[in-house]
Chains A and B, each alone.
Chain A
Amino acid sequence: EAQVTQNPRYLITVTGKKLTVTCSQNMNHEYMSWYRQDPGLGLRQIYYSMNVEVTDKGDVPEGYKVSRKEKRNFPLILESPSPNQTSLYFCASSLAGIYNEQFFGPGTRLTVL
């Protein structure tokens, strides 16, 4: 089944404890992206990647890192999480070409205490 998977789905952590949220897709998509969803603010893009080893900042990259060493994986790294990073995070992927629709993962709900 074609899908985007994220792990973990739920995470409660404490300020400053490094964490990684994994994202993997099995559709051979070139483009992958991370978003966060906060009440009243809509989906905001954190980082995106156009292909392996090619990443770029979205609208809200502060406090996050990403890497794209393999085509199928695009992990989101929070080196020192803070409470303002408490949010619902979505990973998405699509074929190359800006006209292609994105396929979203199931979401990761992160709480930073």
Chain B
Amino acid sequence: ILNVEQSPQSLHVQEGDSTNFTCSFPSSNFYALHWYRWETAKSPEALFVMTLNGDEKKKGRISATLNTKEGYSYLYIKGSQPEDSATYLCAFRASGAGSYQLTFGKGTKLSVIP
């Protein structure tokens, strides 16, 4: 089983603050890195799929970067709003025979305080 780590496990920020969190994954046999947003009592929803070293993707106030050589991805939220409160999951795909298997991290739970 591949090791995908997310940190911090949880954090609380004030409305308007910017924040970021980390996903670490094996740097060898990288294929793709997914980010999902999971609100309480709902289903996970895709944010980004990242495939190339140096990739940077953006959706509104949320952006992500990817470093495949050192095995990490950052998710940034600019000017956090209460509706950003959710658990953010990253998921790693390895190359090779298991490339259709997706390994998730345990998530970072973000709470934005109004």
Q: Which A residues are within 8 Å of any B CB, using their own CB?
A: 31, 33, 35, 40-45, 48, 50, 56, 58-59, 90, 98-107
Contacts and interface: CB of A to CB of B under 8 A. Distances in A.
Interface in B17-44: 31-32, 34, 42-44
Contacts, number: 55
Contact of B107 (A42, A58, A105): A42
Contacts of A106: 42-43
Contacts of A104: 43-45
Interface residues of B, number: 23
Interface of B: 1, 31-32, 34, 42-46, 49, 51, 89, 91, 93, 99-107
Contacts of B1: 59
Contacts of B100: 31, 48, 50, 56, 98
Contact of A59 (B43, B101, B106): B101
5 contacts: A43-B44, A44-B104, A48-B102, A102-B102, A104-B44
Contacts of B105: 42
